[in-house]
Amino acid sequence: MIDALFQTLSAAGRAAPAGVPLAERGTALLRLRREIHAREDAVIAALAQDFRKTATEVRLSELLTVYQEIRLARRRLATWARGRRIGSGLLLLGT
């Protein structure tokens, strides 16, 4: 099973070695934000039922945080996706 999964993931990596384009990632983050916003009432109800959180508490401590993280991710996406060299460290010295 693990071998089959590895083969599947390896084939997917070879098919799209550069990964998902930045524009597509940004669009996906916007789509995620819209989907969360569309389901805010369900999120509030679930957290009220499970953790007895008020709607205001959910909006401030949960939803606002997620929206801010999505915004940050969109702003920093190009920087985070940029390639960079990383040293191998002592464990791999001489290999």
Report in angstroms the alpha-carbon separations of 58 from 33, 63, 64. Answer: 16, 6, 8
Supply 33's token pair: 């934000």
Polymer length in residues for the chain: 95
| Overall pTM surpassing 0.85 (yes/no) | no
Consecutive H or E run containing 23:
helix 22-38
Angle at 83 between CA 77 and CA 84, to 5 degrees: 120
List the pLDDT tens digit at each of the 95 positions of the chain: 788 888 888 887 676 656 788 899 999 999 999 999 999 999 999 999 999 999 999 999 999 999 999 999 999 999 988 888 877 777 777 66
**Token couple for 46:** 């679930």
